Chains A and B, each alone.
Chain A
Amino acid sequence: MKAKTLVIIAGAIVGISALILTFFGNPANMGFCIACFIRDTAGGLKLHSAGVVQYVRPEIIGLVLGAFIVAMAGKEFSPRAGSAPASRFVLGFFMMIGALMFLGCPLRMMLRISGGDLNAIVGLVGFIAGILIGIVFLNKGFSLKRAYKVSKADGYIFPGIQVVMLILLVGTPALLVFSTEGPGSMHAPVALALVGGLVVGAAAQKSRFCTAGGIRDAFLLKDFTLLIGFITVIVVVLIGNLALDSFNLGFEGQPIAHSDGLWNFLGMALVGFAAVLLGGCPLRQLILSGEGNIDSVITVVGMFIGAAVAHNFGLASSGQGPTFNGQIAVVIGFVVVAAIGLMNLQGRSVKGDA
């Protein structure tokens, strides 16, 4: 019961924070979007030069630091590494490619559903399909093998980088790039975004909230705990949007979205597939990186590079729809993720093969 209560509270915190951040300036249906915000941050650091999506998002900084602080306080900060880091890098990379095809991570997909964006329902169906493919691999013995304890110092590096990012953002913004138009120019005040990230990061760490985990556990283990959090977010934000009169049902004219059903489906299917092999969605990877999970740090770095490549090579969709290059990248993504899946099938030794 306790786990369910925690995840409902976390879902409510995620939903309310998303509503507040959108109300105070974040783009529509983008109170939080891990993929978009990592992409914006990559742009803010000039890793790509797509002018409309460049802004070092304080939410990302807050999410990692919130998880870090709560993990430290709860004695759960436990640096570990070594579970197939290169494979995780690639999975993170293609998880980003899939998300930028759809235009959002699973969390933004939920927020889009709550905003009445029916394209996100198509995305959800794809996401579930991808998760089911991932479950087939899990049932056949897929494993990225175990991680081992590493020094505490190694675990401090990524949260430390977030502190540096915050100092750059507040202290020396001239070093960074800021969009003057487009989604990157739309944002809540820095302090509010940082606090929103911290609070959600803390809640997600405590509750193990994971957008992919909810659907995965429901199918795989008949355990609906995390799924309840998933539904809580959608319901809370739906109520909020109705109250704020920002609910707009339909496929066309949705904010920062396109209505190409096939590619919305495939983009999110790739995200779901990769997320199950990784053991968690983009949000969960960020939270784990704050807990000292170096394999998740590598995954997040893969997402950063994926975002930069997506915009440098025209792979990311826009409101006009997907690009041809992006479609090729998503197809390649399925092949590569499936290859990683196949190459890591092993008999699930009950004694634990170190």
Chain B
Amino acid sequence: MIIDARGRACPEPVLMTKKALEKNPEGIEVLVDNVTARENIKRFAGNLEFQVVVEEQDEDYLLRLTK
């Protein structure tokens, strides 16, 4: 599942990630378009012990969160 959190103001990308992870505890992908959201989600997912792989896509970042 891909969450599109581009253009969202703080803390929405993290809240969208949180909600999606509750439904998909094995992992999700999140698309963001700024460094703040990228870092916030990495930190949030890291605290929940998810692995996070970041892939740059043009001006966006695709974050793959897996257990």
Residues of A within 8 A of B (CB): 3, 74, 76, 78, 80, 82-83, 138, 143-144, 146-149, 208, 210, 213, 216-217, 220-223, 225, 278-280, 295, 348, 350-352, 354
Q: Does B7 contact A (CB under 8 A)?
A: yes
Q: Is the CB of A208 within 8 A of B36?
A: yes
Contacts of A213 in B (CB 8 A): 10-11
Interface size on B, residues (CB 8 A): 29
Q: Is the CB of B9 within 8 A of A83?
A: yes
Q: Select from chain B the residue with minimum beta-carbon distance to A4.
A: B43
A sample of 7 inter-chain contacts (CB < 8 A) reads A146-B8, A216-B11, A220-B11, A223-B47, A279-B10, A279-B12, A295-B9
Contacts of A76 in B (CB 8 A): 34-35
Q: Does B14 contact A (CB under 8 A)?
A: yes
**Which of A147, A210, A225, A350 is within 8 Å of B43, CB to CB?**
A225
Residues of B within 8 A of A (CB): 1-12, 14-16, 18-20, 23, 31, 33-36, 39, 43-44, 47, 59
Q: Complex Cα distance A352/B2, Å?
A: 9
Q: Is the CB of A352 within 8 A of B11?
A: no
CB distance from B51 to the nearest CB of A (A): 17
Residues A83 and B19 in contact in the complex (CB < 8 Å), given A78-B33, A78-B34, A221-B44: no
Q: Complex Cα distance A138/B47, Å?
A: 21
CB distance from A146 to the nearest CB of B (A): 3
Contacts of B31 in A (CB 8 A): 352
Q: Complex Cα distance A348/B8, Å?
A: 12
Residues A144 and B9 in contact in the complex (CB < 8 Å), given A76-B35, A223-B47: yes
Contacts of A147 in B (CB 8 A): 7-9
Q: Is the CB of B11 within 8 A of A146?
A: no
Q: Complex Cα distance A74/B36, Å?
A: 12
CB distance from B23 to the nearest CB of A (A): 7
Q: Select from chain B the residue with minimum beta-carbon distance to A147.
A: B7
Q: Select from chain A the residue with minimum beta-carbon distance to B8.
A: A146
